[in-house]
Amino acid sequence: MRPDNSLNSTPEIPSASSSLSTRAERKTRRSRSKRFTLLAGGLVLAGVVAGTGFTVQSAVADQQQQAQQERDDRAAAKAAAISKTHFAASVALVDADTALDAAVNKVDASALSATSSTLAGYISMPLTEVSELTSQAKEQTAAVQAAAVEADRVAMEAAAAQAAADAQAAAEAQAAAEAVAAGNTPAGAKATAASLASSRYGWGASQFSCLAQLWEKESNWSYTAYNGDGGATGIPQALPGSKMASAGSDWATNASTQIAWGLEYINGSYGTPCAAWSHSQAMNWY
């Protein structure tokens, strides 16, 4: 058997030069490692600082943007409020003008007129004042419109009443004209004479017979009869005809007025138609 020299061999001790070389290498490696670590740390720190700066700048930009948005929102809201208020004022002015036109010569609209004149300058007025005047104009406009409607209603009723009265008056005038026209005919005149002779004087049929013959001879019962020789006029042949005005101003055109005067004349002068007829037969006048 070969003896095992490894068990009995002495360990190899490194030489001094070899140890120094090894320590130098380790130092170099540690120095390089330290520089690398510092470099890496610097890079990391720089990145952190750069990232922090970007984050701060981004936050500031966001705040500025938010502030600008808030300013824009406030400006838009203000513009909308101005537009809405001015539009309401313009509408109120149009309604007020319409009401003022409808109120002419009907109702007192001086208060609305004054409010409307002031509100017309709404462009340069504070919004609160514009809103107050707009509300006031609306209230006054409603009041004027209601008053104008009531005035129209009253005027229409008055016009209707006047129209009815005019129609009634026209109907009565027409009836009276027709009655006069009917009474102005010989038959109508005779009917009137018979009625008045009976109601006013109590003369019956026999007296009316004498009267009928008397006035037939004088005028043929024509209310337009006129005697050119002496001027005797109308059914009873009054001389002059103007005497009959004592019975009515329409003596020249109304047979009834002439008859009323003639009956009174016969009553006062002869007492009865038959006495007047007898005188006429004897004297050819009465």
Q: What is the pLDDT, as a whole number, of residue 30?
A: 55
Q: What is the pLDDT, as a whole number, of residue 59?
A: 87
Sign of the alpha-carbon torsion through 134, 137, 143, 144: negative
Query: How would you write the pLDDT of the chain (286 residues) with one tens digit per residue?
Result: 444 444 444 444 445 444 555 565 656 555 554 554 444 455 444 454 455 555 668 889 889 999 999 999 999 999 999 999 999 999 999 999 999 999 999 999 999 999 999 999 999 999 999 999 999 999 999 999 999 999 999 999 999 999 999 999 999 999 989 999 999 999 999 999 999 999 999 999 999 999 999 999 999 999 999 999 889 999 999 999 999 999 999 999 999 999 999 999 999 999 999 999 999 999 999 9
**Can you give the pTM of this predicted structure?**
0.52
Q: What is the pLDDT, as a whole number, of residue 169?
A: 96
pLDDT tens readout for residues 119-159? 999 999 999 999 999 999 999 999 999 999 999 999 999 99
pLDDT tens readout for residues 170-190? 999 999 899 999 999 999 999
Return d(Cα 195, Cα 203) in angstroms, integer.
9
